[in-house]
C-alpha cells in the first residue's frame, strides 16, 4: 500500500508542470472554485482572472451552457472510437468551426492540446509535400522565441531557450527566423508595431541557404504569447505569406492563443487578413474546460491526401481521443456561448479601453515597456541585475495576495482576461497591478 502519507492532502506526489515545485509546496496557491471572471481560493478569497486561466477560458468560468452540454453528453455517449468509426457531435463541431474560420479553411483534424495540434500540423506539412511528389521538402522553419508547445516537433521549431536546452538534439532539419521584438524601435506600441516587417525577408536568406525544394513549412504565432507577448510588425505577416507562397512553402499559423476571439475576431488570420495553409488551435475551442485541439486546413492540404484506393487509410496519424464526444459537445456549447453573448465583438469593442488602461502603467516603477493587441497586454519590467525573472515572479506573488491573477514569463507580465471582462474589472486589474508595481523591489 502506498497510502502511508505524512499528512492528508499531501502535495508530494503531484509533480507540477512549469512550476517551481519546491516553492509552491511550501506555500501553495489553490483554487477551489470559479465563476465568470473570478476564482475562489482555498482561503476563501475571490481572485480576478487576468489571464483566462492559461489563455483558454475566453468565455469566463463555469458557464452554464458548457457545463450542461458536458453533463448531458457524458450520460448519453461517453466515448466512441475515433478510428474507422464516428459520432455526429464531432462532425457537427467541425462544421461549426469552419463556419467561423477564414474563407479558404475547410477541414478540421482533432487533437487534444496545442502541443498535439502543432505536431499534427508539422507532420501534415511534410506528408503533404510527399503526397504532391515533392518528398525532398522536409525542413521546418520556426522562429526565435516562438512557443509551439512542449513536444519534440514543437520545441524544435520553437525558440524559447529553456524549453529546448535540456532535451537533447531535438528534430534535425529545422531552422529559425529571427524574432520580431525590437524594443528600441517599438517601445510602448499600441497595436501593431511600426518597425520590423523586413525581418520576414530573412526567410529569403534561409531559402537561399537550404534551397526552397527542401523546405516544407514555416510556423509562427501571429501574436506570440508565451514568450512574453511579441506583436507582429505592420506588414510582417503579409510578407511572410508572400515569400512562402512564392517558394511553395506551407505557412502554419499557431493560433492556440489567438484563436477564438482573443483579438476581437474569431482568428488572427481574419484580424490580419492573412490566410495561412494551416492553423493550429486548442484552448478556447472548449473554453479550456476539456482538453481538445484542432488543426484547420485548406482544401488544398486536405485534398492532397485523398488519393489512392478508397479502402485505404489516407493519413497514418490520429489520437485515441481525437473528436472525443464530451470534448466535442463542450466545443459546440463553447462556440454557441461565444456567439450568443457576442463575445468576439465584445472583445473588439472593449480593446481600446483595455489599451488605455494598460498604457497608464507606463510610468510605474520598473516598467520598461507596455504593449497590447486585442485583449492581450504585456508589461515588461527591468530585471534585477543578475537575477532575471525574480522581479516579475515577486510581482505575480504580490498580485495574487491582492486578489488578481496575472502571468509572468521572464520579466514580462502578460495578461489575457476572459472576453467578458467589464470596464470596472479592467480598472480593478490594472489599478491593483499599479499598486503592486509601486511597492515592488
| Contact set with ligand PLP (CB under 6 A) | 113-115, 118, 147-149, 221, 225-226, 254, 256-257, 282
Pick between residue 61 and residue 407 the one whose CB is nearest to ligand PLP: 407
Output the smallest distance, CB 199 to ligand PLP, in A.
19
Pick between residue 102 and residue 114 the one whose CB is nearest to ligand PLP: 114
Handedness of CA 130, 132, 133, 137 (dihedral sign): negative
Residue located via cell numbers 504593449: 371
Residue located via cell numbers 500540423: 121
- Using CB positions, name the residue nearest to ligand PLP: 114
Q: Nearest 5°: phi and psi at 32? A: -115, -10
How far apart are alpha carbons 89 and 286 in whole angstroms? 13
Output the smallest distance, CB 155 to ligand PLP, in A.
11
From the list 422, 419, 411, the residue with the least C-alpha distance to 181 is: 411
Output the smallest distance, CB 113 to ligand PLP, in A.
4
Output the smallest distance, CB 430 to ligand PLP, in A.
23
Cell of 358: 494598460
Pick between residue 257 and residue 429 the one whose CB is nearest to ligand PLP: 257
Q: In what order do the strands lie in the sheet with 250-254?
A: 105-111, 293-298, 278-281, 250-254, 215-220, 139-143, 174-177
Pick between residue 149 and residue 233 the one whose CB is nearest to ligand PLP: 149
Residue located via cell numbers 470596472: 424
Output the smallest distance, CB 158 to ligand PLP, in A.
8
Output the smallest distance, CB 157 to ligand PLP, in A.
10
How far apart are alpha carbons 119 and 202 in whole angstroms? 24
Pick between residue 144 and residue 341 the one whose CB is nearest to ligand PLP: 144
Cell of 220: 509562427
Pick between residue 264 and residue 293 the one whose CB is nearest to ligand PLP: 293
**Cα 227-229-231 angle, rounded to 5 deg:** 125
Amino acid at each position: 500500500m502506498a497510502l502511508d502519507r505524512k499528512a492528508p492532502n499531501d502535495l508530494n506526489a503531484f509533480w507540477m508542470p512549469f512550476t517551481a515545485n519546491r516553492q509552491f509546496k511550501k506555500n501553495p496557491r489553490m483554487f477551489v472554485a470559479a465563476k465568470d471572471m473570478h476564482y475562489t481560493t482555498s482561503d476563501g478569497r475571490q481572485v480576478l482572472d487576468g489571464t483566462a486561466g492559461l489563455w483558454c477560458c475566453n468565455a469566463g468560468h463555469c458557464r452554464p451552457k458548457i457545463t450542461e452540454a458536458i453533463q448531458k453528453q457524458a450520460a448519453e455517449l461517453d466515448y466512441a472510437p475515433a478510428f474507422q468509426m464516428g459520432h455526429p457531435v464531432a462532425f457537427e463541431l467541425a462544421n461549426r468551426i469552419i463556419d467561423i474560420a477564414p474563407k479558404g479553411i475547410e477541414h478540421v483534424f482533432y487533437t487534444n492540446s496545442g502541443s498535439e495540434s502543432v505536431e499534427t500540423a508539422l507532420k501534415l506539412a511534410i506528408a503533404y509535400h510527399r503526397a504532391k511528389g515533392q518528398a525532398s521538402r522536409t525542413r521546418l522553419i520556426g522562429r526565435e522565441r516562438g512557443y509551439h508547445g512542449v513536444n519534440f516537433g514543437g520545441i524544435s521549431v520553437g525558440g524559447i531557450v529553456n524549453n529546448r536546452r535540456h532535451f537533447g538534439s531535438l528534430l534535425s532539419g529545422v531552422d529559425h527566423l529571427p524574432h520580431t521584438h525590437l524594443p528600441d524601435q517599438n517601445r510602448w506600441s499600441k497595436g501593431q508595431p511600426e518597425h520590423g516587417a523586413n525581418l520576414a525577408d530573412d526567410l529569403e536568406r534561409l531559402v537561399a541557404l537550404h534551397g526552397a525544394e527542401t523546405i516544407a513549412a514555416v510556423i509562427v504565432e501571429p501574436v506570440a504569447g508565451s514568450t512574453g507577448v511579441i506583436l507582429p510588425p505592420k506588414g510582417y505577416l503579409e510578407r511572410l505569406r508572400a515569400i512562402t507562397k512564392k517558394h511553395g512553402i506551407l505557412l502554419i499559423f499557431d493560433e492556440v492563443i489567438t484563436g477564438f476571439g482573443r483579438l476581437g475576431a474569431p482568428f488572427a488570420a481574419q484580424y490580419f487578413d492573412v490566410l495561412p495553409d494551416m492553423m493550429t488551435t486548442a484552448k478556447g475551442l472548449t473554453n479550456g474546460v476539456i482538453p481538445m485541439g484542432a488543426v484547420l486546413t485548406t482544401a488544398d492540404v486536405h485534398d492532397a491526401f485523398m488519393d489512392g484506393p478508397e479502402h485505404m487509410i489516407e493519413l497514418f496519424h490520429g489520437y485515441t481521443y481525437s473528436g472525443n464526444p464530451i470534448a466535442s459537445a463542450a466545443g459546440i456549447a463553447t462556440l454557441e456561448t461565444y456567439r450568443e453573448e457576442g463575445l468576439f465583438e465584445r472583445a473588439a469593442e472593449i480593446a481600446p479601453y483595455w489599451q488605455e488602461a494598460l498604457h497608464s502603467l507606463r510610468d510605474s516603477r520598473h516598467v520598461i515597456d507596455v504593449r497590447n493587441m486585442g485583449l492581450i497586454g504585456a508589461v515588461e519590467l527591468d530585471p534585477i541585475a543578475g537575477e532575471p525573472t525574480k522581479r516579475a515572479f515577486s510581482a505575480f506573488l504580490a498580485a495574487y495576495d491582492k486578489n488578481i491573477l496575472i502571468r509572468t514569463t521572464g520579466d514580462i507580465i502578460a495578461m489575457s482576461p476572459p472576453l467578458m471582462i467589464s470596464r470596472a474589472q479592467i480598472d480593478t486589474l490594472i489599478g491593483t497591478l499599479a499598486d503592486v508595481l509601486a511597492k515592488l523591489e
